[in-house]
Structures are given as structure tokens and as C-alpha cells.
Structure 1
Amino acid sequence: MATTRTTLNKAAPDAYKTTILLSEQADAAALDAGVAPLTLELVRIRVSQLNGCAFCLRTHTRDALTKGETTDRLAVLSAWRETGYFSPAERAALAIAEEITHIGAPAHGADDNISDISAVSAQQAATLRWVAVVINALNRIAISSHYPVKP
């Protein structure tokens, strides 16, 4: 027998609103630090790929396409290290996304000493970490709430 889950946004709406506000603040800080809007979408998509969040993948893929992202780059995003599609700053953002998402596991080496990270300023790296922290939280909200993803 399947159980019906109360979605977290409805069960604790103030907590959800605070998470959305945190997302907006992280985005604003990243944009103020000079991170490109499309880079923020790449971070959200990459984190959502790693977490398996279909709801967020669909949402942020659509957002990225609206902002001018190409289907070629989206097609290879999960293998970004193997391509020449992404700029040094985007590669830094993607390394940070993976670092935060796999924070407890030995990563591909995302830390302040690798070349991927050196392509962004310390302030940009910090704000990108905030963006990654928030999308990880939102992925967990969507996945644990079983947000519907219908064609």
C-alpha cells in the first residue's frame, strides 16, 4: 500500500519560504560577485543530476534554455571535465557544485588548490558554494516530498 506524503512546503510553509529566500539571497550575492546567471543554472542542474532530482532538473534545464543555454552543452554537462564546452569560470562553478554535493566523500579533487577553482575569485567561490548548498536543500525537499514530474 502506497503512502501519501505531505509535501514539505505545505507541512512547514515558513521553513520552505525561508529556504526560497535563502536561494534568492545566494543568487543575488553570486550575481553581485560577478557570477553569470547561466553559470548559476549550470550549478543547479549539475547538483540536481548528482542528487537525481527530476523536478529540479526539469525546472533548471528549462530556465537554462530560456537564458540561452545550448542543448549540446546540456547534453555533456554530466561529463563536463571531458569536454571543452565550458569556460574556466564555469568549470570552477561545476567543481564547486560537486564539492558541496559530495562533501563527505573523497571528490574528484574540488578544493582551493586545483586549477578549476582558481578561475574564480574567493568571493565568487563562496557565493557559488552557497548556491550549491541551497540547491542541495531544494533537491532534498523535492525528492523527499515526491514532487510530481509528469510529461
Structure 2
Amino acid sequence: MTQRLDYFATAPDLFQPMLALEATLKDSGLEHSLIELVKLRASQINGCAYCIHMHSHDMRANGESEDRMHLLNAWRESSLYSAREQAALAWTEALTKIEATAAPDADFDRIAQQFSPREQAALTLVISTINAWNRIAIGFRTPHPAPQEASAA
């Protein structure tokens, strides 16, 4: 895969608002582990290798278990995720696949039971932002930063 454009080098000023939003969401009160689960799950759905690589490495560095990362794609069938995480993951899938789901009431009801209204807003912004990052990275063919791992395989 050949990178189409180094967007940060080309237009760093245009990406500053997204970076500021990321910093704001990091301090929104949502758990760091929950934010990373949501980002990884959306990135899996969208097929963003760059973001999957980045978020799985960040999660591992922050103590996330390999099992929870490996089973994330099948979270509905696993007991490793709390009710709060399951609600967030269902909402992530609903919003990431919005053309097919239309954000069903049942998924909203799940987050309403687990998250305060402010947290619901923060969670929705986390999901929206990672979907935007996925589209940017995929659109510009941003390679994940692990050439030594690929050559070793």
C-alpha cells in the first residue's frame, strides 16, 4: 500500500481542531479503557489498519488484556466486558454502521441506562471522531508504523 498523502505534513492547521477534540474527550470523564475499546471496535469495523495498530498498542501499553482485545470482535459472546462496555460497544456499532442501523432505540436505551447524559454526548463524540480518523487514514492510505514486524513475518 502506498500512502496517498501525508495529511499532517500537508495541512497541520486543519487537523488541530480534531486533536483539540481528542484532548477534550480524553478528559471527559469516560474511562480511558472504555474510550480505547470503542476506538478499536470502530476501527475494526471500518478496516483501518493504522488505527487498529495504534489503539491495540496503546491498550496493551495501558494494561489491557490480550483476551479482551482479541475477543472484541465477538464481544456479545464474551463475559469479559461489563454491562457499561457492552452498551458502549453496541452504540459504537450502531453509529459506525448508521446507514444500516439508523441508531436503534434499543441501543440508545442501553447507553441511557449506563451513562449520564453528559457521558452519552462524550461517548457519541468519541465514536464520531474515531470514525472520522478512520476515514482520513483509509482515504489517504496511511500505513501503520510497524515495518520491522511485517518484514519479520
TM-score by length of 1: 0.85
Cα separation, 2, equivalents of 1:27 and 1:121: 17
For structure 1, which segment, 4-13 or 60-69, has the greater mean C-alpha deviation from structure 2 after superposition?
4-13
Q: Contact conserved, 1:26 with 1:127, CA < 8 A, in 2?
A: yes
Q: Contact conserved, 2:91 with 2:103, CA < 8 A, in 1?
A: no
Cα separation, 2, equivalents of 1:3 and 1:24: 30
Identity of aligned residues (%): 37
Say yes or no: does 1:128 pair with 2:127: no
Change (3 A) 1:4 1:28: closer
Instruction: Compute the RMSD of aligned alpha carbons.
Output: 2.1
Give the 4+ runs in structure 1 shifted more than 6 A. Answer: none
Say yes or no: does 1:41 pair with 2:40: no
5+ unaligned residues in a row in structure 2: which ranges? none
Please state how far the C-alpha of 1:108 moved relative to its aligned partner: 8.6
Change (3 A) 1:48 1:129: same
In terms of fraction of residues, the more helix-rich structure is: 2
Matched letter for residue 17 of structure 2: T
Specify the alignment match of 1:20 in structure 2. 19
Specify the alignment match of 1:112 in structure 2. 108
Q: Any residues of structure 2 matched to 1:1-151 within 5 Å, and which?
A: 5-29=4-28, 31=29, 35-106=30-101, 109=104, 111-113=107-109, 115=110, 117-149=112-144, 150=147, 151=149
Cα separation, 2, equivalents of 1:116 and 1:84: 18
Q: Contact conserved, 1:27 with 1:131, CA < 8 A, in 2?
A: no
Matched letter for residue 75 of structure 2: W
